[in-house]
Amino acid sequence: MNFIDQMKYRYQTFGVVERLIIILVACFFLPFLFRTLLYLFSIPFDQFFTWFELSASFEDLLYRPWTILTYAFFHGDFGHIFWNLILLYFSGRMMVNLFKPQLFVNTFFLGVLVGGATFVLSYNFFPAFQGQSPRLIGSSAGVMAVLIFMCSYMPYKDIRIFVFNIKLIYIGLLFIALDLIQIPVNNAGGHLAHLGGALIGFLYQRNISRGNDFGQWISKFWRSFSTLFTFKSTRVRKVYRSPNPQPKPNHKDVKQEKIDEILDKISQSGYASLTKEEKELLFRAGNS
């Protein structure tokens, strides 16, 4: 098995959380490789991220509607993606251990969509942001949705951190508080997106507990999308043959044996002992 085949096999054995992390890591490193390629051909790289970043401008969103989703697959620096992936793995593994993987997919992308919408609406509604049109990247809103979903589902679960335990709900409340107090300080759009993701995570869990899965359409879309990253294996059909195949029984021989059995039955018990089917078979044999 060569290296490529090993990578395909390992990818197929991963769960949905690990697969999403692999995609996010790939999207983080690919732009750096792409930048090197463009540099060698003296092509400017400045406009690359504008095709994937979410702009706070309604006009930009109208021309690039896909950015409401693609912004979540790119990160600004290593620290940004590192902590997002740590938290995603921590909360995502808890979720898939208790629910179907589709629910994790629904929750994450609901957080991405609602977090992005919160970012755009905030910069077009609050007076403090008038005249500003920043851009947003990062999967934090989706991660927050998964984390807060689990905090709402099992708030008093003990989580081991170093040498002490802490209730899961306090971890969620800590992240929400940090986002709230940092809005006036820096990266206001990012913190607002986090809060939007946290809100939809909470609401989604409450609806799921009532049997209302309003995010089910996302898992259907994800299944179609994930097939692009699924490697299909070719099945080999094996045919086993006996070294000494037995000849198929001749139909005439089988029929003759049956007739001989009927004749023996007549000689022993008389014609009246035959069944209706045996009489018909004997009649057809006599006329053939």
Q: Do both 221 and 263 map to the same domain?
A: no
Q: Do both 146 and 279 map to the same domain?
A: no
In a domain, 98, yes or no: yes
Q: Do both 167 and 204 map to the same domain?
A: yes
What is the model's pLDDT at position 81? 94
pLDDT in tens, the chain (288 residues): 565 666 666 666 788 999 999 999 999 998 888 888 888 888 777 777 788 999 999 999 999 999 999 999 999 889 999 999 999 999 999 999 999 999 999 999 999 999 999 999 999 999 999 888 899 999 999 999 999 999 999 999 998 887 889 999 999 999 999 999 999 999 999 999 999 999 999 999 999 999 899 998 888 876 776 665 555 544 545 455 555 555 555 555 566 777 777 776 766 666 666 777 777 776 666 555
Number of domain units in the chain? 2
- Within 10 A of 88 (CB to CB), how many other CB atoms are there? 24
What is the model's pLDDT at position 234? 47
In a domain, 246, yes or no: no
In a domain, 239, yes or no: no
Round to whole Å and give the CA distance between 285 and 288.
5
In a domain, 205, yes or no: yes
* 158 φ, ψ (degrees, to nearest 5): -80, 130
Q: Do both 18 and 131 map to the same domain?
A: yes
What is the model's pLDDT at position 236? 45
Q: Do both 261 and 220 map to the same domain?
A: no
CB 123 within 8 A of CB 187: no
With the CA atoms of 281, 286, 287 and 288 taken in that order, what torsion angle do they form, in degrees rounded to the nearest 10? Answer: 80
Q: Do both 29 and 82 map to the same domain?
A: yes
The CATH number of the domain holding residue 121 is: 1.20.1540.10
- Residue 272 is given by DSSP the state G
Round to whole Å and give the CA distance between 202 and 200.
5
Domain of residue 183, residue span: 14-229
What is the model's pLDDT at position 73? 95
Q: Do both 137 and 277 map to the same domain?
A: no
Q: Do both 173 and 256 map to the same domain?
A: no
Question: Among candidates 130, 28, 134, which has minimal Cα distance to 73?
Answer: 28
**Amino acid at residue number 265:** K
In a domain, 213, yes or no: yes
Q: Do both 94 and 172 map to the same domain?
A: yes
In a domain, 114, yes or no: yes
- Within 10 A of 244 (CB to CB), how many other CB atoms are there? 5
In a domain, 5, yes or no: no
- Within 10 A of 41 (CB to CB), how many other CB atoms are there? 6
Q: Do both 23 and 139 map to the same domain?
A: yes
Q: Do both 41 and 121 map to the same domain?
A: yes
In a domain, 158, yes or no: yes
Q: Do both 96 and 132 map to the same domain?
A: yes
pTM: 0.73
